[in-house]
Amino acid sequence: MKKFYITTAIDYANGKPHLGHAYEKVLTDVIARSRRMMGEDVHFLTGLDEHGQKVQQTAQQRGIEPIELCDEASGDFRGLCRDLEISNDDFIRTTEDRHKKVVRRLLQKLYDEGRIYKAEYTGYYSARIEQFLRERDQVDGEWPAEYGEVVEITESNYFFKLGQYQDWLVEFLNGNPDFIFPRFRGKQVLEFLKEPLNDLCISRPAERLSWGIPLPFDEDYVTYVWFDALVNYVSAVGWGEERFESYWPADFHVIGKDILVPPHAVYWPIMLKAAGIPLPKSLLVHGWWLKSGRKMAKSTGNVVDPLDLIGHFGPDAFRYFVTREMNVGQDSDFSLELFMSRYKSDLANDLGNLVSRALNMIGRYCEGTVPAASLEEEPEKELRALWEETRKSSAELYADMQFHVALEKTFAFIRAINRYAEIRAPWKLAKSDDDADRKRLETALATLAEGVRLSVVLLKPVMPGTAERVYRLLGLTEVREWERDLEWASILEGKKVSAPEILFPRPKTEGAPE
Ligand code: MSP
């Protein structure tokens, strides 16, 4: 069976993990986990981009070897994945042999087939972004500050014949409007391709940059950043080996909008085409998290690092927040106030209280065993109808990458269960001696428990820890797959539930926001 293969960008090793990295991993994880729930055999890759000038320079400044810096970063980024409960199957580092080997094999193939040539090149070079710039990158005759120092240099280098594939790429993009999600990003690529495409310089003289993969056909050069980094998507799954066929083409490359044009939408498709490797099925391009300093400041004036929130409130609260607030493709502002309000109202209040209420009442009125639902009156009918609608729309929303709306609907269902509890008022029914009321009471408790169960099954891709915890509290073992577990059923009948636990407590850690 072909795997559902999904990747994130690989992060630069010379920086610390930040909100943007965390978001991308969560987004990809939500897709990976939801696909597993749909029965797909998922392979989820993330990793670290370790070569290049910046790593070499940073290591030099710190008086350590580049690989030491990368080892440190690898610890930090793997730590981030662990803290966020990211379910990646693999973590690739571009300094690993398995990667270097494939990069060299690919370069050799393209060189042998005449797609790479050597030429002298004079251009304006920015060491900060490790790229030659174009005249039109200037603003009013000046190089913008983001490029740092820009110097004119002449050197011999190797070039990849990018330009000759321009017409092919335009045609491909026009014929495959779903290649890039959201679609408006595809239009930006076509806009970029209106200008003639230059061949791509793919090397750096080793004397200037030693921290890279040597070209197999000229060891005086190392390959330049994109030809190294992009190849991770195929090196990790063994391009050239038999197993490659069961992974490739990738189903999604998840990336941020800054690395769509030109790397992922122009260089990568052309590199693959030239090498005779099929293209990935789709690029999923997310927007950026912006941080307004004002909003991130606590009343005391301290600025909160969003990643600290994982420690204070747990991975699921963080995962919920970024998935709930970001409309995939758009930008979003990270605000602490909003985080706290979602934590308190959606998680602690709507979901957390519902779970403890349900468990409490089952404990009090049914000795901790979920009773049978023997009636179906108007309140039950309404709740069930809402569930069927929620379930159906969730499937569509997941397919359309509308995770924020899917969560909104799930929480609308959770609030409806809370309202159902108010309407049925089991605490009142418990006082009645009437047989019909006893049935209503039992039905209400069974319905509450089933509503809770279904909600957490639906929430599992976003809040895996919470889903499993609630499942155990309900006397069940493991959330497995959506087709079966999202069915309104009576599997809880006769199950012994646990005493309630506080799922979303006030943070105890010092320095946590209130
Ligand atoms: N190493 C390259 C990618 C190579 S992929 C073959 C790189 N690394 S990065 O560390 O700068 O960025 C990694 C990912 O994080 C990118 O997809 C980028 O868009 C994303 N983000 C970086 N800052 C971000 C935000 N503020 N918000 C959301 N995502 C952002 O680029």
401-460 per-position pLDDT tens digit: 999 999 999 999 999 999 999 999 999 999 999 999 999 999 999 999 999 999 999 999
Atom number of ligand 1 nearest to Cα 256: 19
**Sign of the torsion formed by the C-alpha atoms of 188, 190, 194 and 195:** positive
pLDDT of 296 strictly over 60:
no
pLDDT of 512 strictly over 90:
no
Query: Ligand 1 pocket check: which of 21, 271, 331 to mutate, most ligand atoms within 8 Å of Cβ?
Result: 21
Q: Which helix (H) or strand (E) segment is 112 a member of?
A: helix 97-112
Tokens 């950026």 -> residue: 288
Percent of the chain with pLDDT over 70: 97
Pocket of ligand 1 contains residue 197 by CB under 6 Å: no
Residue 76 sits at φ, ψ, to 5 deg, of -65, -45
Per the model's pLDDT, the better-predicted residue between 398 and 153 turns out to be: 398
- Residue 488: predicted pLDDT: 98
Q: For residue 259, how far is its CA from the centre of ligand 1 (angstroms)?
A: 7
Pocket of ligand 1 contains residue 239 by CB under 6 Å: no
Burial class (CB in 10 A: 0-12, 13-18, 19+), 505: exposed
Query: Ligand 1 pocket check: which of 224, 255, 257 to mutate, most ligand atoms within 8 Å of Cβ?
Result: 255
Work out the mean pLDDT of the chain and round it to a whole number: 95
pLDDT of 300 strictly over 50:
no
Beta carbons of 228 and 51 less than 8 angstroms apart = yes
Question: Contacts for 487-490 with beta carbons within 8 Å, 24 or more apart?
Answer: 488/384, 488/387, 488/388, 488/450, 488/454, 489/450, 490/372, 490/373, 490/446, 490/450
Domains in the chain: boundaries = 335-485
Q: For residue 475, how far is its CA from the centre of ligand 1 (angstroms)?
A: 41
Pocket of ligand 1 contains residue 475 by CB under 6 Å: no
- Residue 294: predicted pLDDT: 44
Pocket of ligand 1 contains residue 49 by CB under 6 Å: yes
Beta carbons of 154 and 76 less than 8 angstroms apart = no
Pocket of ligand 1 contains residue 11 by CB under 6 Å: yes
User: pTM of this prediction?
Assistant: 0.95
pLDDT of 295 strictly over 90:
no
- Residue 491: predicted pLDDT: 97
Confidence of residue 303 (pLDDT cuts 50, 70, 90): low
Confidence of residue 134 (pLDDT cuts 50, 70, 90): confident
Distance CA 348, CA 514 (A): 13
Pocket of ligand 1 contains residue 10 by CB under 6 Å: yes
- Residue 194: predicted pLDDT: 98
Nearest protein CA to atom 16 of ligand 1, as residue:
256
pLDDT of 75 strictly over 70:
yes
Pocket of ligand 1 contains residue 248 by CB under 6 Å: no
Confidence of residue 506 (pLDDT cuts 50, 70, 90): confident
Atom number of ligand 1 nearest to Cα 254: 17
User: In terms of Cα–Cα distance, which of 335, 336, 327 is closest to 406?
Assistant: 327
End-to-end CA distance of the chain: 49
Confidence of residue 319 (pLDDT cuts 50, 70, 90): very high
335-485: CATH number: 1.10.730.10
Mean pLDDT on 278-288: 97
Confidence of residue 292 (pLDDT cuts 50, 70, 90): low
- Residue 466: predicted pLDDT: 98
